[in-house]
């Protein structure tokens, strides 16, 4: 019978990051299919482009 591996000690750096991580968003995204996640990413990209253009337009008006 193989021996069990020794228990892992949590990495303090990873534990520090995990405190500030919203895992609910990760879980919701993982429920989506790859195609749904891709579409969501594309929508965000279009939104970011729109914000960028709006910022450039506002800067040009000054």
Check if the beta carbon of residue 29 is closer than 8 Å to that of residue 37: yes
Q: Is residue 51 part of a domain?
A: yes
pLDDT tens for each residue of the chain, 62 residues long? 778 888 889 999 999 988 888 889 889 999 999 999 999 999 999 999 999 999 999 999 98
Specify the pLDDT at position 35: 97
Q: Is residue 50 part of a domain?
A: yes
Q: Is residue 46 part of a domain?
A: yes
Q: How far apart are CA 14 and CA 32, in angstroms?
A: 25
Specify the pLDDT at position 7: 84
Q: Count how many domains the chain has.
A: 1
Parent domain of 37? 27-62
Check if the beta carbon of residue 38 is closer than 8 Å to that of residue 29: no
Q: Is residue 61 part of a domain?
A: yes
* 26's tokens: 């990760």
Q: Is residue 13 part of a domain?
A: no
């Amino acid at each position: 019978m193989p021996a069990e591996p020794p228990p892992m000690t949590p990495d303090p750096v990873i534990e520090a990051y995990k405190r500030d991580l919203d895992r609910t968003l990760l879980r919701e995204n993982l429920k989506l299919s790859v195609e749904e996640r891709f579409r969501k990413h594309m929508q965000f990209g279009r939104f970011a482009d729109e914000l960028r253009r709006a910022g450039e337009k506002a800067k040009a008006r000054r």
